[in-house]
Amino acid sequence: MADATGAVACPLCGQALNLSGPVSRKDVCPGCGRDLRACHACRLHAPTAHNECREPRAEWQARRDRSNYCDFFELAPAPGADATAADPREAERQQKLNDLFRNF
Ligand SMILES: [Zn+2]
């Protein structure tokens, strides 16, 4: 899912992606070469959760690094700066945390 600016980046390596629509099973990251429509690039993937997914209705996937047909797939935010930029409150929280540690 693209945000307002249309900028999408690989959740695995941060490489900017030029997707013209929803992530398809054929989409591979030009940066790291890994499948994009796979659990490891999904916002719902949670290795510690039941089924390794935050969506309880999702089907079990044998391979977390391979494209699948999961109906609940949603591209995860890119690692690092993009996640905080997307949520101003998160950036603020981070700033407060930094201030806190500076005083010690
Ligand atoms: Zn990548």
Q: 32 CA distance to ligand 1 centroid (A)?
A: 4
Ligand 1 ion: nearby residues, β-carbon < 5 Å? 10, 12-13, 15, 29, 31-32
pTM: 0.70
DSSP string across 38-83: SGGGBTTB-TTSGGGBS-TTSPP-S-SSS----TT--BPPPTTHHH
Separation CA 44–CA 52 (nearest Å): 9
pLDDT by residue (tens digit) across 35-79? Answer: 999 999 999 999 999 899 999 999 999 999 999 999 999 999 988
Please state, for a pLDDT cut of 70, what percent of the chain lies above it. Answer: 86
